[in-house]
Structure 1
């Protein structure tokens, strides 16, 4: 599902719920020793996805431990992102010579809880999300939330600084409905304009991200990939 959103050089692995293939390294298991079962399963399965993606890059399996702000710590020379929600787990990785950064997020294609949209959306985003009723095939409020999560997952590992929901203004393009064996899917692209731009470690001013999204099988997936310098 997520692979159709990725550029060349990125590899993905996904699971639509528990797949029973995951095992944890001791240092990973220690992090969730007291977690409830659903949390343990999500944690384990998404790491199984990550290690399958490592294998696709020709890398040996290693523990995936959380760093500051829970950003995954990847092997040297690798960038990546993980996500999970009800019914879906995924990891996307690439060598840093192919991509400078990756941010992904997945959410159920259902309306946000009451009050959440107003807390994350800028006025233009709020108007767009509210105008989707009856005309859009995707829950626009949830798509907005997912895309903002993908923005943060791209921004923080790259810059190492916080970025609030209100510090990125998003705009979306919805493309025509596609058909598949499940009946259909919706997809499109989005742009995130950073309202507090910063200079990245490679010297580039980071002021905008381009992303893609897909809604299929009751899941919304958003992806941002940042090309390497000079690309």
Structure 2
């Protein structure tokens, strides 16, 4: 499903179940040595998806270790993102020559838990969500916004090396499956590329899930 949100040249692999008792890949064992079984299985499956996606770009299997903010560290020449939620694990990657950045996220198609919206929303977003909800009450727009901001962050961080809070990106959606995030802080990149003043993404609802993806082209 997630591949429907990605451009040509990107590779995605997803899974809806875990393989019981699947062992971590060599070089990743320590990352889940103390994890509870459910967390261990989602990690193992998601990393397997990531390795299979990277293999589609021609890379040999290798450990995918975390960086300073637990982001996956990809092989040189690869950009990508991993996501997992109940009943779903996925990874998406692309050659660094094709895209500057990539972020994906998946969430259950359910309303946000009580109290979370107040942390996630910027000042202008509640009114926009209310209008979307009135036009399409079947979509959990608050949870979709949360997912979209997660995808924005996953695309943002590798290019800037800086945290991006929920309140530092303001989103607008259309009902056709697209969204734009206006970045409210300095978007200077560490690679010298054009500053990230806004990021564009796509979304869909399928199989009880909300899926979002953000891609950053080399020229914006």
1:27 match: secondary structure: coil
Match of 1:213 among 188, 193, 203: 203
TM-superposition CA deviations, 1:155-176 (whole Å, max 9, x none): 111100111111111000012x
8 A Cα contact 1:98 1:228, kept in partner: yes
Partner of 2:184: 195
* C-alpha displacement of 1:123: 2.3
Name the CA distance, whole Å, in 2 between partners of 1:227 and 1:20.
38
8 A Cα contact 2:83 2:91, kept in partner: yes
* C-alpha displacement of 1:22: 5.4
* C-alpha displacement of 1:23: 4.2
* C-alpha displacement of 1:4: 0.8
Partner of 1:169: 170
CA distance 1:76–1:22, shift in 2 (3 Å)? farther
Partner of 1:92: 92
Match of 1:226 among 200, 211, 216: 216
User: Which residues of 2 match residues 1-231 of structure 1 at below 5 A?
Assistant: 1-19=1-19, 23-131=23-131, 132=133, 135-175=136-176, 188-200=177-189, 201-229=191-219
Which 10-residue stretch deviates more, 10-19 or 206-215? 10-19
Normalised TM-score (structure 1): 0.90
CA distance 1:194–1:30, shift in 2 (3 Å)? same
In terms of fraction of residues, the more strand-rich structure is 1
* C-alpha displacement of 1:99: 0.6
1:14 match: secondary structure: strand
- Which consecutive residues of structure 2, in runs of 5 or more, have no partner in the other structure? none
TM-superposition CA deviations, 1:25-70 (whole Å, max 9, x none): 3331111111111100100000110111011111101101111111
8 A Cα contact 1:17 1:86, kept in partner: no
Name the CA distance, whole Å, in 1 between partners of 2:22 and 2:122.
40
Normalised TM-score (structure 2): 0.94
8 A Cα contact 2:64 2:73, kept in partner: yes
Name the CA distance, whole Å, in 1 between partners of 2:22 and 2:83.
15
Name the CA distance, whole Å, in 1 between partners of 2:53 and 2:69.
22
